[in-house]
Amino acid sequence: MFLDNLIFYSEEIYFIKLINIKIESIKLKFKLNGGVKMKELRKLIALSLAVFIILGLAACGNNSIQENELPENTESKTSSMITGKITPNENTIVIQVGHVNPSNEEDHLTQFIMKFSDLLMEKTSGKYAAEVMGNSQLGGDRDMLEGLNMGMIDAALITNMVVANTVPSANVLELPYMFDNDSEAFMVAKDSLIFGTIHDDLYNNYNIYLSGHIGGGFRNTISTKKDIKSMDDMKDFKIRVPEGNIFTDTFKSLGAAPTAMAFSETITSVQQGVIDGLEIPIASIYSGGYYNFCKYIVATNHIYTTSDVCFSRKFWDSLSKEDQKLFNEAVAEAAEYQIEYIKSREENLIEKMKENGAVYTEVDMNPFVEATVNIRESYRDIIGAEVYDRAIELLNKARADY
C-alpha cells in the first residue's frame, strides 16, 4: 500500500488513511468482479484526487511532516495517546485499536482497550501496548472491517451486528430476546462450535483474526416524543435502526416503523422530526449524551450488544506463537473486566440520566418476546442449523439448571 510507510501523527494523515481504505476497497471489487461500474470508477477518481489535494496542501508552508519526524511541539509519540495506567516506553510497540464510541475514559470500549493495554504491558514485559483510537478515527465499523481485511489497520473493536452482515453465523448473537442476561450471551458466544464457526469464516475468507467478544449491554429504545409504556405504544413509532435485516424485522414485528440509516445521519434526523427515536445500550446513551434530546428511555432490552475484538490476519500472523497466546490471554482477561465494568455502572448511569431530566420506563417484556418468536426461528437457516441449534441447546440446558 502506498501509504503504509507514512507515520500517522496528524488529523490530515488519518483522513488520507481512511480515503486509502476506500480506494483499496474499490480496487478489491475490481479484482473480484472483473471490473467496476461507472459510479465506482468516478468514486475511485474522486478519492484519488482528494489524497493528492491533501498531500499538496500539507506540502505547502513550513509545517510538513517528513517520515520519522515528529510534529513541532510534540514531545513524544506517547505524549497524547490514550493507553492504560502503565505508560509505554520508547521501545514498546503500540498497537492502535479502533472503535466508534467516544474516546473518553468512561466509555466501555475505551475501558476495554486501556485494560487490554495494561495486561499486554505486564504479560509481554513492556514489548506491546494498545492505544485507544475512538471517535471513528480509523473509520466506521465497515471501514475498519475493510481496513482489517486489507491489513491496513492492525486491530479494532467491531460491533458484532456489522460482522453479522458479512458472516451469517454471527447473527446468532443478534437475535431479539434470545438472551435473558449477559451470562447467557457470553455462554453462547464462547462456545467452541459457535465461536469457531465465526472465527474460521473471518480468518479464512476475510483475513481477520477474531480473538474474543466484549459486552455493550442490552439495547433499549429512546424517544423524543412519548413515553412507551407497552407494546401498543410502539405502533407506528418511527425508529432508526442499524443496517441489517434483524433489526428491521424485529421492530416491524413490534408494530413500529423502522428506518435503517447510518448513525451519522441519526441525530439530525431526530432533531428534524424525521424519526421519533432510536435504540442503543444504556452505556452508549449516557456516554454519547443522547438522553439530552431523547428524554424517554424505555427498557425494551431487545438485543444484547457485543463487539468483536479483531486483528488483521497480516498483523496476527506476524506475531510469534508465544505472543499470540499472550494477546489472547490479555483479550480474555480484559473482556471479563469490561463486562463487569458495564454491569456495575448501569444502574448508576440510569440514575444520573434521570437526575438530568430523563424518564426511564420498564415495560412488561412478555408481549415483546412473544411477538418476535418467528423472527428468531426464521434466521435458523441463515445462521446455519448447526450453530442455531447449538445455541438453543445451550440456553435450554442453562435455564433448566436455574
Question: 217-305+347-400: which CATH topology?
Answer: D-Maltodextrin-Binding Protein; domain 2 (3.40.190)
Look at residues 198, 287, 292, 277 and name the one whose alpha carbon lies nearest to residue 241. Answer: 277
User: Virtual CA dihedral for 23, 28, 34, 40, nearest 10 degrees?
Assistant: -30
DSSP label of 208 = E
Whole-angstrom distance, CA of residue 21 vs CA of residue 1: 10
The answer to whether 390 and 400 are in contact (CB under 8 A) is: no
Q: What single-letter amino acid sits at 154?
A: D
Q: 3-class DSSP state for residue 260?
A: strand
CATH ID of 81-216+307-344, from 3.40.1160.10, 3.40.190.170, 2.40.50.100, 1.40.20.10: 3.40.190.170
What is the residue extent of each domain of the chain?
A: 8-62, 81-216+307-344, 217-305+347-400
Look at residues 286, 256, 293 and name the one whose alpha carbon lies nearest to residue 271. Answer: 293
Whole-angstrom distance, CA of residue 180 vs CA of residue 174: 13
DSSP label of 35 = S
Cα 99 → chain centroid: 6
Q: What nine digits make up the cell of 29?
A: 471489487
Look at residues 162, 257, 146 and name the one whose alpha carbon lies nearest to residue 206. Answer: 146
Look at residues 255, 247, 304, 253 and name the one whose alpha carbon lies nearest to residue 278. Answer: 247
Q: Return the bridge partners of 96, or none.
A: 131
Written as tens digits, the pLDDT of the chain (402 aa) is 333 333 333 344 444 555 555 554 444 444 334 444 444 445 555 555 554 444 444 444 333 222 222 223 223 333 357 889 999 999 999 999 999 988 889 899 999 999 999 999 999 999 999 999 999 999 999 999 999 999 999 999 999 999 999 999 999 999 999 999 999 999 999 999 999 999 999 999 999 999 999 999 999 999 998 899 999 999 999 999 998 899 999 999 999 999 998 877 888 899 899 999 999 999 989 988 999 999 999 999 999 999 999 999 999 999 999 999 999 999 999 999 999 999 999 999 999 999 999 999 999 999 999 999 999 999 999 999 999 999 999 999 999 987
What is the secondary structure of 47-112 as a DSSP string? HHHHHHHHHHHHHSTT----TT-PPTT---TTSS----SSPP-TT-EEEEEE-SS--STTSHHHHH
What's the angle, vertex CA 112, arms to CA 109 and CA 115, rounded to 5?
150
What's the angle, vertex CA 200, arms to CA 195 and CA 202, rounded to 5?
100
Whole-angstrom distance, CA of residue 366 vs CA of residue 370: 6
Q: What single-letter amino acid sits at 97?
A: V
Phi, psi of 30 (to 5 degrees): -60, -45
Phi, psi of 129 (to 5 degrees): -145, 170
User: Virtual CA dihedral for 133, 135, 141, 143, nearest 10 degrees?
Assistant: -80
What is the secondary structure of 128-183 as a DSSP string? EEEEEETTTTT--HHHHHHHHHTTSSSEEEEEHHHHHTT-GGGGGGT-TT--SSHH
Whole-angstrom distance, CA of residue 394 vs CA of residue 30: 43
Instruction: Name the pTM for this structure.
Output: 0.80
Q: Is 207 exposed, middle or buried (0-12, 13-18, 19+ CB in 10 A)?
A: middle
The two domains 81-216+307-344 and 217-305+347-400 share their CATH topology (first three levels equal): yes
